[in-house]
């Protein structure tokens, strides 16, 4: 029994440490939801509590563990929520579908992206240019995602 409690505690702590990045990625709660005591600061304890709540929410059978089925259900829920946000944000004519034109993100113009990678302006991207661009993107890290 002690081993399962220990493993559950480790999993809850791990979820607490990843709470900020997961919440940013999922468009999770805003600051006021994390600041449970309304002090104007989010404490480590509040962050850990949020992680434990996320774990408990995912642990649908309440056994203190996340099974493959529970993890898949949580991932499916996040995927559905993200798809709904994308549709709401990009569906300009509000017909419930995205056309190729609506899918184009004007901030990520492929021609502009291509020109940046094609460092020697040869009109093509060499393997070296490709690897340099990949390394540059890794150094920058992932961009924060909004809740839209």
Enter the tokens of residue 66: 């996340």
Q: What are φ and ψ of residue 26, in 5° steps?
A: -85, -5
pLDDT at 59: 95
**Residue 111: its pLDDT value, please?**
82
Does this model's pTM top 0.85? My answer is: no
Six-digit token pair at 121?
């302006």
For residue 87, the model assigns a pLDDT of 92
Residue appearing with tokens 């850990």: 48
Residue 33: which of 15, 21, 17, 20 has the closest Cα?
20
The C-alpha atoms of residue 37 and residue 29 are separated, in whole angstroms, by 15
Residue 55 CA to residue 13 CA, distance in Å, equals: 9
Helix (H) or strand (E) holding 54: helix 44-58
Cβ proximity of 55 and 11 under 8 Å: yes
What pLDDT does residue 9 have?
Answer: 52
pLDDT in tens, the chain (148 residues): 555 555 555 555 555 444 444 545 555 677 888 889 999 888 899 988 988 998 999 999 999 999 999 999 999 999 999 999 989 988 999 999 999 888 876 666 778 888 888 999 998 888 898 889 889 888 876 655 544 4
Q: Helices 19-26 and 2-17: crossing angle, nearest 10°?
A: 60
């Amino acid at each position: 029994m002690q081993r399962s409690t220990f493993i559950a505690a480790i999993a809850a702590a791990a979820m607490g440490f990843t709470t900020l990045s997961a919440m940013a990625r999922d468009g999770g709660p805003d600051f006021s939801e994390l600041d449970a005591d309304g002090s104007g600061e989010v404490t480590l304890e509040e962050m850990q509590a949020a992680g434990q709540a996320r774990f408990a929410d995912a642990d649908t059978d309440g056994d203190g563990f996340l099974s493959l089925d529970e993890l898949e259900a949580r991932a499916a829920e996040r995927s559905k929520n993200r798809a709904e946000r994308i549709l709401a944000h990009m569906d300009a004519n509000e017909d419930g579908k995205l056309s190729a034109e609506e899918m184009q993100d004007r901030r990520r113009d492929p021609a502009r992206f291509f020109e940046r990678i094609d460092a020697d302006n040869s009109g093509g991207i060499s393997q070296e240019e490709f690897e340099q661009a990949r390394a540059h993107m890794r150094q920058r890290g992932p961009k924060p995602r909004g809740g839209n």
